[in-house]
Amino acid sequence: MNQGKVAIVTGAGGGIGREIAIALAKSGAAVVVNDIGVSLSGEGGSATPGEETKNLIEKAGGRAVVDTHSVANWDDARRIVDTAIKAFERVDIVVNNAGIVRDAIFHKMTAEEWLSVVGVHLNGSFFVSRAAAEPFRQQQSGSFIHITSTSGLIGNIGQANYSAAKLALCALSKSIALDMQRFNVRSNCIAPFAWSRMTSGIPAETPDQKARVARLKMMTPDKNAPLAVFLGSDAARGVNGQIFATRNNEIFLFNQSRPIRSVHRGEGWDPQSIADHALPALQGSFAPLDRTQDVLSWDPL
């Protein structure tokens, strides 16, 4: 499906990123395996995870190179794209998957916890995408695939930094889709569900929490790869600016923010008339304070 294409997959040293990289290679793409080999919270650094992914790809007959530059640095992001061009002479697919988590309840979150997570998920996705935009524009083709999360699309507790970055990533994707459609460049998002390093810290103390973790463990990272492979291919040439989610054997298409109800008052509004008339009219359509597990409350299928 992607024969002759070249893909960059960030954060491809394990979990979902590794499975997407392997699947893209199996579909015929040469792959740049980008991973700096840090811990889940962004500490340390090693080329080993990326080398392991590269070895798995090559053992299956695919082509891959390892890149250890950081997506969170503007110059390093350009070096990631340079790696693809030097090794394979082009780039066709960018999967922005790299991420870290630094969870904390909002009133205890530090500036460093905020900046580090936003720096990787949001800034990193912009930096890598921006670096790839020029070769995409010149060749008049390309596909961006951004890994978002229902923590941003729906909500979660203790993840203000991660949720904000992941929802902002959807806006970035939509902007890329609008700005670059003239060059036949597509940009879409996937919110994956999988048991991986990103979810291994979920509490499992109460019966409800234990049941939820048991359900999550059913969702292996490889379940998310087919949609990424499809979105990178020419078969998805008409898919642009969309937000999908993959959960075990389910694929969801998410809506995007639009007005759902309005009120009008010819003489205008003041605070009291808003309280007396606008609020009662609008309140029935308020969005509840849901979390992901509240909205997707059934067991994975």
Task: Verify whether residue 162 is a known catalytic residue.
Answer: yes
User: In this structure, how many other beta carbons lie within 10 angstroms of the beta carbon of residue 280?
Assistant: 10
Q: How confident is the model at residue 196 (pLDDT cuts 50, 70, 90)?
A: low
Taking the model in full, what pTM does it have?
Answer: 0.92
> Which residue in the list 162, 193, 195, 244 is annotated as catalytic?
162
Q: In this predicted structure, what is the pLDDT of residue 152?
A: 97
Residue range 94-147, pLDDT digits in tens: 999 999 999 999 999 999 999 999 999 999 999 999 999 999 999 999 999 999
pLDDT over 60 at 198, yes or no: no
Q: In this predicted structure, what is the pLDDT of residue 301?
A: 80
CATH of 6-256, one of 3.40.50.920, 3.40.47.10, 3.40.50.720, 3.40.50.300: 3.40.50.720
Which residue, among 191, 202, 136, 200, has the nearest Cα to 165 in the 3D structure?
A: 191
Q: How confident is the model at residue 190 (pLDDT cuts 50, 70, 90)?
A: very high
Q: How far apart are CA 36 and CA 43, in angstroms?
A: 10
Q: How far apart are CA 103 and CA 105, in angstroms?
A: 7
Sheet of 30-34, strands arranged across: 64-67, 30-34, 6-10, 93-96, 142-147, 185-192, 243-247, 250-253
Residue range 44-53, pLDDT digits in tens: 566 789 999 9
Question: For the residues 67-93, what does the mean pLDDT come to?
Answer: 98
Q: In this predicted structure, what is the pLDDT of residue 195?
A: 74
pLDDT over 60 at 245, yes or no: yes
Is the separation of the CB atoms in 77 and 133 below 8 Å?
A: no
Per-domain boundaries in the chain: 6-256
Question: For the residues 142-163, what does the mean pLDDT come to?
Answer: 97
Is the separation of the CB atoms in 8 and 34 below 8 Å?
A: yes
